[in-house]
A and B are shown apart, each in its own frame.
Chain A
Amino acid sequence: MADIQVEEKSKGGKKKPKKGDARVDMTPMVDLMSLLITFFMLTAAFSKPKVMEIVLPEKIKKDEKVEPPKIAESRTLNIILGPEDVVYWYPGKADPDVTVLQETDFSPTGIRQVLLERNRALFRKIDQFEKDVISGKIDIRQDSLRSAISQLKKDDDTGPIVLIKAYKTSKYKNFVDIIDEMSIVGIARYTFTDIDWIEEKLVVDAINRAAPVAPGSVQ
């Protein structure tokens, strides 16, 4: 109402229409858009989960007469995933009287050191190879670098053969972690096998040793 009155009042005088500012303030629009862009960019970048590929050895069917492959005892390293993120390991073959499980964890100074120590030769070789490539000593195309490294791993016959076993109270997380550790350290040969009764007994012994207050509670 007030607007109309004002207009009538000014009708008599010389009408000089104010030069309208045709510009629209775009700042809020820009604000909103940058917000939306940020949102969509972040969701696009982080929504894709990663996958880790593993290949398990084919199961030996009961009716087939196939011997499981023989491996050298001296190269074997057994890793047992224990309860509460503990890792047990022992070299060679399990002997209920002699073998004592070594206890370690998933920290960088834990199982990784054990594996690195055993895999030193191969790790060095890969490291040296990568350095040579960077410094230009070895001329290799970027896309065949990966296959060259996997070839190095395949040819390696001094590194450890890691057998991974899981105790019944271990978590899925431990399983992923240990396979991860294999790829970090560059272990060429590892596989996943079932835990046998000797090892189960050793794990129970180790748990009891760690907590002697309640013997027999972990069975």
Chain B
Amino acid sequence: MPKIKLGHKSPRIDMTPMVDLFTLLLTFFILTATFRPQESATVDTPFSVSEKPMMDANVMTVLIAKDNKIYFNVDNGPDTILKFRPKILAEMGKRYNIEFTADELRLFEKTGTSVGVPIQDMKKYLASRDSDEKTALEKGIPIDSVDNQLALWILFARQVNPAVQTMIKGDADVPFPVVREVLDILQDKNVNRFNLITSLRVVEVTEEITE
């Protein structure tokens, strides 16, 4: 009796539907992903239990980096279309008698990162192509009472976009007096509501209080 020969074919699975599904998912995730430009300063935010996500639009951020330098950023979200950034820079220029050309304003609009450059160096900063040179120019925005540029940035940001909300992104190790100074400047400009940017941490409060 002849043996029944079993085919040695390897069992193949039709992967086409799987590939279809994966392509669909991939397209979805690529399209919904928002690409944020690399921040100019590294900031390790402290942790908190707050679960409120950060808003996308109408935002201005004051960054306090590890080395106590102050950076400022306005609307890096969808309201770039409304062109707040160049308007704010133009106002700043007017105050300091610096005439920014249309090209420079456009360049400032395109760079979505926060700026830590004194306004006097802004032209040089925008003109430079070299990233090392740019980092060298980032001395932080002056906040002393002689030349309080941060206060002016805040003032103009609020004038151009009255709906703007304030974010403070501070490094966990920044000494508190620096933060206090920034809060004071904001309060001088009648901003009393802040959003501190933090990373999420989970804490369970299950303590049964023992009597």
A166 to B177, CA, bound (A): 8
**Min CB–CB distance B16 → chain A (angstroms):** 7
List residues 99-142 of chain B with CB under 8 A from any CB of chain A.
Answer: none
Minimum CB distance partner of B172 in chain A: A173
The 0/1 profile, CB within 8 Å of A marked 1, for residues 33-65 of chain B is 110100000000111111111110000000010
A183 to B194, CA, bound (A): 16
- Write out the residue numbers on chain B whose beta carbons fall within 8 Å of the beta carbon of A171: 172-176
Contact A40 B199 (CB under 8 A): no
Minimum CB distance partner of A34 in chain B: B22
- Write out the residue numbers on chain A whose beta carbons fall within 8 Å of the beta carbon of B145: none
Interface size class of A (residues with CB under 8 A): 35 or more
- Write out the residue numbers on chain A whose beta carbons fall within 8 Å of the beta carbon of B19: 26, 29-30, 33
Q: How many residues of B contact A (CB 8 A)?
A: 58
Contact of A50 among B36, B53, B173, B193 (CB under 8 A): B53
The 0/1 profile, CB within 8 Å of B marked 1, for residues 30-60 of chain A is 1001101100110110011111111111110
A175 to B179, CA, bound (A): 10
Interface: A185 (CB within 8 A):
yes
Q: Which of A67-75, A91-99, A115-123, A136-144 participates in binding chain B?
A: A115-123
- With A52-B195, A81-B176 known, 16 other A-B pairs at CB within 8 A are A40-B30, A41-B29, A49-B53, A49-B199, A50-B53, A51-B196, A52-B52, A53-B196, A116-B207, A168-B176, A173-B173, A176-B196, A176-B198, A180-B47, A180-B49, A180-B50
Minimum CB distance partner of B169 in chain A: A49
The 0/1 profile, CB within 8 Å of B marked 1, for residues 140-152 of chain A is 0000000000000
Minimum CB distance partner of B59 in chain A: A51
Contact B192 A27 (CB under 8 A): no
Q: Which of B83-91, B146-154, B180-188 participates in binding chain A?
A: B180-188
Contact B192 A172 (CB under 8 A): no
Contact A53 B194 (CB under 8 A): yes
A120 to B49, CA, bound (A): 21
Contact of A47 among B36, B169, B170, B198 (CB under 8 A): B36
Known contacts A26-B19, A58-B192, A171-B172; is-contact A116 B26 (Cβ 8 Å):
no
Known contacts A37-B29, A40-B29, A50-B197; is-contact A172 B52 (Cβ 8 Å):
no
- Write out the residue numbers on chain B whose beta carbons fall within 8 Å of the beta carbon of A196: none
Minimum CB distance partner of B30 in chain A: A40
